[in-house]
Amino acid sequence: MELMETQRVPSGFARLLRHRGLPLFSVMGIRIVADYSWFLIAALIAGSLSMGWFPSVLPDRSLLQYISLGLITAFFFFASVLVHELAHSIVAVLHGIPVRKITLFLFGGVAEISREPGDPSTELKVALAGPAVSAVLAAAFWGAVILTGLRSGRPAAQLSFLYLAIANTFLLAFNLLPGLPLDGGRVLRAIIWRVTGSLKRATYIASMTGQALAGVMIILGLFTILFARQIVTGLWLIFIALFLRQAAEASYRQVTMKRALRGATVGDAMTRDVVTVSPAITLAALVDEHFLHHHFICYPVVEGDHALGFVSIKDVKHIPRDRWSETHVGDVLTPLSDDNTLTSTDGIPAAMRKLAASGSGRLPVVDHGRLVGMVTRGDIMRNLEIRSDLAP
């Protein structure tokens, strides 16, 4: 089922999907990718149709017929999910919001939208595009059920259309529930945003509504397990609810973080009083006077006013201990480059990307060849936390 778009899910989850999956094709420059988890749910749905739905409602057919019907119906089901997601994406693109790709995964479809809509009207249009397509699909499949019912000898087609009609009707109803990250939550947020003028407040209310809906789903899941004895269905409800709850919480955090990032630079977050070392000291002195004294794991190497590089515990560990007294910092330092340095005017998003790419928890900040500070992930997060708390 289609549940959300990537910009409405936890960033860690988005990063996970970004690095795995099988590319399928492109539509209007939007890449369609099947995450590896999608193959599991595709197999489960196709199998349940072939071995459960069709044998129960259409007896006395061959196994090959059941499998064929199951595969065809599953194909159109996932096509419905993809078309729903494409509707969101195309409307976003038409309003100048780039969409990198759509990923099909375990819980449905995810559109990786580069940024949030800039106004309530655009938000509403993007949010309603998917449900509008699902409504059209549901009506078309219900119409097909009626038409095939008028013709004798077409029970298989009618039952396939019936399943697709029910599935699209359910997707429409479920996604219109008024809580993030569902489409109904986006609609609710757009309305509150228009009334209050505050995206942060609107996101908070829609996020809390989404978490409340997730709580109701968990209770329903437990009730299904304990009283209806439907363990698989109950567990599935609970898994989806936990996922929705996490995504709802992340939606609010994401908005507050983006607002906090506006205008924030590395110079706002960096530590200015930095302990440096000379390239001329030995590794023995570096260990005794710095690593064991200040307890930092990395030090900028500076000669005069000129920043040369930095030295870390890893650099020292590569040198045999009996050579520490004769090896100098300048012999093992990591030279500065565009990839491992920042400037004080760099934006926080660029700094976070460079920190992640470097694999280091800290990077020197260098302006015109002169060291002006150091920045760590902790520095950035503390700065963002303060900015988020102060954001209107």
Give the catalytic positions in this structure. 85
Between CA 104 and CA 360 the distance in angstroms is 32
Q: Are strands 370-376 and 306-312 parallel, antiparallel or unpaired?
A: unpaired
Beta bridge partners of 109: 104
Chain-centre distance of CA 116, in angstroms?
A: 13
Burial (Cβ within 10 Å: 0-12, 13-18, ≥19) of residue 371: buried
Q: Collect all residues with Cβ–Cβ distance below 8 Å to 185 and sequence separation of at least 6.
A: 177, 178, 179, 206, 207, 209, 210, 248, 251
Between CA 187 and CA 176 the distance in angstroms is 8
Q: Which two tokens stand for residue 39?
A: 């193959």
Q: Collect all residues with Cβ–Cβ distance below 8 Å to 117 and sequence separation of at least 6.
A: 92, 95, 97, 123, 126
Contact call for residues 326 and 282 (beta carbons, < 8 A): yes
Half-sphere exposure of 99 (CA within 13 A, CB side): 28
Cβ neighbours, 10 Å, residue 115:
11
Q: Collect all residues with Cβ–Cβ distance below 8 Å to 295 and sequence separation of at least 6.
A: none
CA distances from 282 to 1, 211, 319 (A): 62, 57, 12
Amino acid at 187: V
DSSP 77-111: HHHHHHHHHHHHHHHHHHTT--EEEEEEETTEEEE
Task: Report the interhelical angle of 11-18 vs 231-261 (nearest 10°).
Answer: 100
Strand runs (DSSP E) across the chain, as ranges? 22-27, 30-34, 99-105, 108-113, 298-303, 306-312, 334-335, 362-367, 370-376
